[in-house]
Structure 1
Amino acid sequence: MSVWYIASLNFQDLTIFGPRILWRHVARLTGAKTARVAMSKIGTVELRPRESDISTFRDIFGSRDYAAYCYDSVKERLQAAYNTILKDGKTPVLVDAGANIGAASLWFRQKFPQLAIVAIEPDPDNIALLRSNLAGKKDVYILDAAIGATPGYAELARSRLSWATQTARASSGTEIITVEDAVARVPKGRLLVAKIDIEGFESDLFSSNTNWIDAAAMLIIEPHDWLLPHERTSSSFQKEMGARQFDIFVAGENIIYVRRDPAST
C-alpha cells in the first residue's frame, strides 16, 4: 500500500472514530497482540493491530456495509417493526451470526437501545475479543457456536485472517445452533434483524427449517460465491428470499433484505 493510501485511511479513521483510534499503532510498534482504543460515540473496544478488525469497524460505522439504512423508507420500516415488538411487550432481537469481534452488534445497539443481541461466533480468537467488546452491555448473549439449519456439530477451517474461518458439518466439534435456538435465549424475544456473515455456511443455514425468516423485519447477508466459486453457496438463500415479500438493497459486501410490510412481522 502506498503512503498516500495509508494516510487517507488514517484520516478516515480520525473522522469516524476520533483521535484515540490512532493508539492502535502504538500496539503495532510494540508488538502487542491487541490494543484497547476509545472510539468516538462507540466506546472502548479491543482490536488486533495486525488483523482486519479496524477494517470491519470502518466498513460498518463508515456507512459502507450498512448504507441501506440511510434510506428513509428502510429506517421507517425497521423502526416500525421495532416499536411494534416493544408495544407487544416483547424484546426485539438481533441475531448476529458470524459476529466476529462485535462491530455489527455495537452498531445496531446504537440504533436500537432496547435491542437484545445474540452474538454467535465459532472462532475462539474472535470470541475472546467479542466478549471484551460487548462486556457490560445489557441483554447480550454471546454463544461460542456456529449457526445452521439444524442442530449438530461443525469443524472449523481456520485462516490467517480471522474473518475467513469456515465451518463444515462434522460428527463432533463446535456446536451448531439454529436461529430459533438463538432467539429463544432471550426471554420474550422476537426476531427483528438477522445479520449473517458465515463464510459460505449460509448454504446450510437456508437449506431447510427457514420459517424463522417470516418473523424478521430485516436480513443482512454477505454472500460468498466469490470466496467459494462453483459451490453455489448463495443459491439456498436466493430461493428462500425470492419467495418472500422483501425489498432488496445492496451495500458494500452485503445484500440487505427489508420486509415490505413491517406490520406483518
Structure 2
Amino acid sequence: MKKVKLAAKFCLNFGLFKGLWLFIKFQAGFTEKVKLPAIKYPISLRPGTSDAITFRDIFLDNQYNVSVRNPKIIIDGGANIGLFTVLMKNKYPDAKIIAIEPDGDNFMELKKNASPYQDVFFENYGIWNTDTKLKVYDKYNRGKWGVVVEEDPENGTIPAISIHSLMKKYQIDCIDILKLDIEASEKQLFLNHYEEWLPKVKKIVIELHDGFEEDCSRTFFEAINKAIPRYKLHTTRGENLIIENLDIA
C-alpha cells in the first residue's frame, strides 16, 4: 500500500509516464543521476541514505511551498545535499542563493547538485549566534539528514558563522527567504545577537526541533516577537513554519 501511495505521488507531481519511470528508478536504487521535469540539471541522491526522504519532502510532498515576489537573496541554512537550493534556483533563476551546510559529506553532494547554477555560493559552516567553532556528529542516529552541531571552541572541527557575519560577508541589506533546518541549532541562533539582522529578513521558513532540544520554539518566538513588530504566521505541508515580516514590502 505504501508503494502504491508513493507511486501516486510521483505521478501526481511529474505526470503518469515520467512519474512511473522515476518511481521505478527509485525502487531500483538508481538515483545517482535523476532528471526531473522543470528542473534544469540532474540531481544526485546517495543510494541507501536519507537523501530519498529529503527528496520526498521537497519534490513529492512540496513541504517548501514558499513564494516571494522577485527575491534577490535566499539563504539555505542546513542545506544538506542542496535540494531546496535547486528548487529555489529553478523557481527564481535570478536570485543569489547562499547554501550553508556543516557536514563534509553532505557539503560535497550539495556542491555536486547546485554547482551547475549561476549565483549559488557554498559555505561549509554551521549557523550559530556568533562566530565560533563547532563539532559535527549524528547525535540522534538519524543519518545524513539529521546531523547536528554543538559549540566546541577548542576542539571543534568546522567554523560557525552568524547571520550577521554572513550578511556582512556578502554585503546583504535584506534577506528575502531564510530557510532554516538546522537540527535544534535554532535555539542558539535565536537566543541572542539577533536584534540587528532579524528585522531585515522578509520570510523565514523554519523547522523547529523541540523533540531534540527543549525550548527551541519558545526561544524562536520570543526573538520574533521582540525583533519583528508586525508579522504573519503561515504553515506549509510537513513540519515547516513561515514567518512573514509585514514591515518589509
Q: Does 1:79 align with 2:62?
A: no
CA contact (8 A) 1:13 1:58 kept: no
Letter of the aligned partner of 1:8 in structure 2?
K
Report how many residues are paired. Answer: 235
With 52-61 and 16-25 compared, the bigger mean Cα shift is at 16-25
- What are the residue-to-residue correspondences of 1:229-248 with 2, within 5 Å? 231-243=214-226, 244=228, 245-248=230-233
**In the TM superposition, what is the alpha-carbon distance from 1:58 to its structure 2 partner?**
2.4
CA distance in 1: counterparts of 2:25 and 2:163, whole angstroms: 37
CA contact (8 A) 1:24 1:37 kept: no
CA contact (8 A) 2:127 2:160 kept: yes
2:25 is aligned to 23
CA contact (8 A) 2:13 2:60 kept: yes
Letter of the aligned partner of 1:168 in structure 2?
E
2:35 is aligned to 38
Structure 1 residue runs of 5 or longer lacking an equivalent are 29-33, 70-74, 83-91
CA distance in 1: counterparts of 2:88 and 2:148, whole angstroms: 24
Q: What is the CA deviation profile of residues 15-64 of structure 1, one whole-angstrom value per residue up to 9, with x for unaligned ones?
A: 32434534344446xxxxx6111111113000023222232222223454
Q: CA RMSD in A?
A: 2.1
1:225 is aligned to 210
CA contact (8 A) 1:179 1:212 kept: yes
2:122 is aligned to 142
Identity %: 27
Structure 2 residue runs of 5 or longer lacking an equivalent are none
CA contact (8 A) 2:98 2:120 kept: yes
CA distance in 1: counterparts of 2:136 and 2:91, whole angstroms: 32
2:56 is aligned to 58
3-state SS in 1 of match to 2:9: helix
CA distance in 1: counterparts of 2:183 and 2:172, whole angstroms: 30
1:153 is aligned to 133
CA distance in 2: counterparts of 1:110 and 1:259, whole angstroms: 24
CA distance in 2: counterparts of 1:209 and 1:117, whole angstroms: 23
With 189-198 and 10-19 compared, the bigger mean Cα shift is at 10-19
- What are the residue-to-residue correspondences of 1:1-265 with 2, within 5 Å? 4-17=1-14, 18-19=18-19, 20-21=21-22, 22-27=24-29, 35-42=32-39, 43-62=41-60, 64-67=62-65, 69=66, 75=67, 78-79=68-69, 82=71, 92-158=72-138, 159-171=141-153, 172-186=156-170, 190-210=174-194, 211-228=196-213, 231-243=214-226, 244=228, 245-251=230-236, 252-263=238-249
With 231-240 and 49-58 compared, the bigger mean Cα shift is at 49-58
CA contact (8 A) 2:74 2:98 kept: yes
**Greater helix fraction, Structure 1 or Structure 2:** 1
TM-score (normalizing by structure 1): 0.81
